[in-house]
Amino acid sequence: MTLVIAIPGSEDHAGKLARHLGIDLIAPELRRFPDGELYVRLPRTDDHAILCGSLYPAPAERFMEVALIAGTARDLGAKRVGLVAPYLAFMRQDVQFHPGEGVTARYFGKLVSSVIDWMVTVDPHLHRLPTLDHVYSIPTGIAHAARAIAEWVRDQVDEPVLVGPDAESEQWVAAVAAACDAPFEICTKTRRGDRDVSIDLRGRTWNGHTPVLVDDIVSTGKTMIEATRVLRAAGASALMCVAIHAVFADALHAELAAAGAAGIVTCNTIPHATNQICVAESIAEATRAFL
Ligand code: R5P
């Protein structure tokens, strides 16, 4: 038998997954000792335990929770332990950009692979790495947000043209565009620092279509803000920004509105006030392959 164990903070996701799969959900007891260490207790387990929760905020801490809950589940009799992480952290530093840097995507993949038997996530940041197999030694499955985003775009925007802010976004933008039968354009981004980016539209025009910006992650938001500013300067009317993962490392609503965005909506891979697009069905589909 299989059950879902909710990683604290991701009870909503875990509940949806358990409902979609028609299996039990339990919550671990997790608390901090006075010295900061973690106490873990599980009311029970089954042969197959699925830990469910996004590895954000505080991804390093979330990993410790995953490792300790997985260890507890195994001690209580689980023979297989899977991880359904709607947002997979540590995917952006996937190569050494500058001398001396660590390739943390690889080290993190090794850590997760040492405590978990299989993993499902939603649209991980795969760009320079072609597949998760390059950094994870366990079987992995990918759920896609494109179908759910396309439904939202179809419902909300007349004559859309999907716009990706950078080359990395093309895989997501193209998939959404195909799913809602709309054209798409990809801009060019130059990143000079964590909060310093510029976007080049390369003279694109919209031919009466309404641009909708689509990206996988909103972190500081500088990519979305700059892309919005450049699109508005090129004549676009107030436009919506859509992202899969609402990391929101910085508060950005005021800056985004000032740049000319009509608003921002995200998928519910990370709980956030902007979540309007539910990807629970895709996650359940990808998870079924491991049952
Ligand atoms: C880039 O590699 C990603 O696809 C996003 O464009 C990026 O993570 C967004 O970061 P920020 O919001 O900090 O500009």
CA of 110 to the centre of ligand 1 (A): 24
CA of 201 to the centre of ligand 1 (A): 17
pLDDT at 96 over 90: yes
Here the tokens at position 24 are 């039990």
What is the rounded distance in angstroms from the CA atom of residue 14 to the CA atom of residue 65?
A: 15
- For residues 230 and 199, the answer to whether their CB atoms sit within 8 Å is yes
The model's pLDDT over 160-193, given as tens digits with 9 standing for 90+, comes to: 999 999 999 999 999 999 999 999 999 999 999 8
CA of 125 to the centre of ligand 1 (A): 10
CA of 245 to the centre of ligand 1 (A): 10
CA of 188 to the centre of ligand 1 (A): 13
Question: Nearest residue CA, atom 2 of ligand 1?
Answer: 168
Question: Nearest residue CA, atom 3 of ligand 1?
Answer: 217
CA 221 to ligand 1: nearest atom = 12
* Number of neighbours of residue 183 by Cβ within 10 angstroms: 13
Question: Nearest residue CA, atom 7 of ligand 1?
Answer: 217
What is the rounded distance in angstroms from the CA atom of residue 201 to the CA atom of residue 221?
A: 18
The model's pLDDT over 6-19, given as tens digits with 9 standing for 90+, comes to: 999 999 999 999 99
pLDDT at 90: 96
| Residue 250 pLDDT grade (very low, low, confident, very high; cuts 50, 70, 90) | confident
Question: Nearest residue CA, atom 5 of ligand 1?
Answer: 217
| Residue 251 pLDDT grade (very low, low, confident, very high; cuts 50, 70, 90) | confident
pLDDT at 203: 75
* Burial of 182 (C-beta count, 10 Å sphere; 0-12/13-18/19+): buried
Greater pLDDT, 249 or 175? 175
The model's pLDDT over 130-150, given as tens digits with 9 standing for 90+, comes to: 999 999 999 999 999 999 999
Entry pTM: 0.95
Kindly list the protein residues whose Cβ atom lies closer than 6 A to any atom of ligand 1: 165-166, 168-169, 197, 215-223
Q: Which residue has the tokens 């450049």?
A: 230
pLDDT at 204 over 80: no
The model's pLDDT over 48-90, given as tens digits with 9 standing for 90+, comes to: 999 999 999 999 999 999 999 999 999 999 999 999 999 999 9
